[in-house]
Chain A
Amino acid sequence: MIRDITIGQYYPADSIVHKLDPRVKIVCTMLYLISLFMFRSVAGYALCTVFLAVIIRLSKIPFKFITKGLKPIILLLMITLVFNLFFTSGGNVLVSVRILKITDEGLRASVYMGLRLVYLIVGSSLMTLTTTPNALTDGIESLLRPLNKIKVPVHEIAMMMSIALRFIPILLEETDKIMKAQIARGADLESGSIIERAKSMIPILVPLFVSAFRRANDLAMAMEARCYRGGDGRTKMKPLVYKRRDYVAYVITIVYCIILVLVGRYVPFKIWIF
């Protein structure tokens, strides 16, 4: 059950997207996320759908795996849809039941918003699915390096992030193990009232915290034993170097953004077919 979480998970495959420099993927994902809010036309949606679809195709990640990551946000998505549907003012009334009115404006807003949310999640999970956590933090560290000048401890932050990311699967596995062990001892985690269910979490949370602290201690000790002392003068075993494909990826993304802005500007807003 706990293994179904795919946000922040890496999916190994041999694809051009996987091979890109993490910095490229971070910057391009950011650009893509921003681009989602740069237009209000059907043509714009068509363009960013095609762009996303092509990248998913290139990444060789099964589509099923990507949609699995959407499961946790279904509730959020529903709420957004409902709110936009009923509380957008203006436009022609299509259906009206007592005080609730559905207007064409509202329908459009809710479909647009829903699509944007889905693309936001899919776009960003595509980045984490194709980049190992280590590469990701490497990329972030290198992108944030200029902040070192104003005394932001960039290396330490990156190190903390990579440790945190590294520990997610470990702690998930640990949780799974402890849950199984307690179920084997007759613990009932599923039935009962909310309070009973909260209480039944104690036999899982206590060992989990104990083990998290134990692991933290061990790791700190191991780092100290190897004389780890932060970022100053530290070199990398595998420094990030841009290759040709990385420049190409930058160019493609920027061209995409420019086209999108132009489409938003010059293709008429009111192409909407019911």
Chain B
Amino acid sequence: MSIKLENINYVYSEGTAYRKQALKDVSIEIPHGQFVGIIGHTGSGKSTLIQHLNGLIKATDGVYYFNGENVYADGYNMKSLRNQVGLVFQYPEHQLFEIDVLSDVCFGPKNQGLSKEECEKRAREALEAVGFPGKFYSQSPFDLSGGQKRRVAIAGVLAMRPKVLVLDEPTAGLDPAGRDEILDQIAKLHKESGMTVILVSHSMEDIAKYVDRIIVMNQGSKLFDGTPKEVFSHYKELENVGLAAPQVTYIMHALKERGFRVDTSVTTIDEAVEEIAKVL
């Protein structure tokens, strides 16, 4: 289930005063099973980019190959693409509508034409995977807390069993505990199911710990693309575009400047602790 974007351009409101080029010549290749983070400042084009992945918006210019097939070719089955690429929007809890949690999660599988039993089975699995407590299955989704609503909404996409899961700022507006829980569960899901996960965020700190690869977007173009270590080594450039490397990067660089022989490429707190312990 590889994803290959070639020279994607996207322009909003072409031909009006509101014309805005959201993406400029973006080329990205994502092999199956990778855990990718897409980072960028507000308005950098990351949300526009991910909507291309399941065909919700069509590039003004460029080609998108999913699994080797050209998505923009005539007669391409968009529905099957959307079944395989699950997209969780920002604040996904705003899309909940059913009378109880279980039927809301069933909405996706039901649209795939599955039987009622199969839908419910998948819904239960998905709710379990996001750590949603079973006693609330028959509650109205509108009575839940913010964090629980979000879990239900993510489960609603997971229940479709996508091969690629795309999450747009899944932790926006959550408290630190809720944020870590959701990210941990996503990481666990990635490990267990082997699906491709694409995580969009504007916080380096959040995703450095989890992802194999980081793509940095700036003003509609790809700025950096590489492992967290590679990307964070450009921490000065990142600052120029309004982003910041994780705090440990700064600490390690500061330590090195003061003459400690530490490895400045560590990305997580745990690694940093180890490094510092080594030199002490």
Interface residues of A (CB under 8 A from B): 3, 11-13, 62, 64-65, 174, 177-178, 180-188, 202-203, 206-207, 210-211
Contacts and interface: CB of A to CB of B under 8 A. Distances in A.
Contacts, number: 64
A185 to B, nearest CB: 4
Nearest to A10: B17
11 contacts: A12-B17, A177-B89, A181-B92, A181-B94, A181-B95, A184-B54, A184-B56, A185-B111, A185-B156, A186-B83, A211-B94
Contacts of B142: 210
Contacts of A11: 16-17
Residue from the set B92, B95, B111 with the largest chain A CB neighbour count within 10 Å? B95
B112 interface: yes
Contacts of B227: none
Residue from the set A11, A65, A203 with the largest chain B CB neighbour count within 10 Å? A203
Contacts of B94: 174, 177-178, 181, 207, 210-211
Contacts of A12: 17
B51 interface: yes
Nearest to B57: A180
Given A178-B95, A206-B97, A184 B87 contact: yes
A207 B96 contact: yes
A12 to B, nearest CB: 6
B208 to A, nearest CB: 27
Interface residues of B, number: 26
A203 B107 contact: yes
A185 B107 contact: yes
B83 to A, nearest CB: 7
Nearest to B86: A184
Nearest to A206: B97
B82 A183 contact: yes
B56 A180 contact: yes
Contact of A185 (B15, B17, B108): B108
A13 B95 contact: no
B214 interface: no
B79 interface: yes
A202 B98 CA distance: 9
B83 A207 contact: no
A67 to B, nearest CB: 13
A182 B82 CA distance: 11
Contacts of B79: 186
A7 B55 CA distance: 29
Nearest to A203: B97
Interface of B: 13, 15-17, 51, 54, 56, 79, 82-83, 86-87, 89, 92, 94-97, 107-108, 111-112, 142, 156-157, 160
A188 B111 contact: yes
A263 B4 CA distance: 67
A185 B97 CA distance: 13
Contact of B157 (A178, A185, A210, A211): A185
Given A203-B107, A211-B94, A184 B16 contact: no
Contact of A13 (B17, B107, B112, B156): B17
Nearest to B153: A181
A125 B133 CA distance: 53
B97 A183 contact: no
Given A181-B87, A183-B82, 4 more contacts: A65-B16, A174-B94, A177-B94, A186-B160
Nearest to A187: B111
Given A188-B111, A210-B142, A182 B95 contact: yes
A185 B160 contact: yes
Contacts of B112: 186
A9 to B, nearest CB: 10
B97 A186 contact: no
A210 B112 CA distance: 26
Contacts of A211: 94
Contact of A181 (B17, B83, B89, B111): B89
Residue from the set A11, A183, A188 with the largest chain B CB neighbour count within 10 Å? A183
A64 B17 CA distance: 12
A188 B110 CA distance: 11
Contacts of B156: 185
Contacts of B107: 182, 185-187, 203
Contacts of B56: 180, 183-184
B160 A202 contact: no
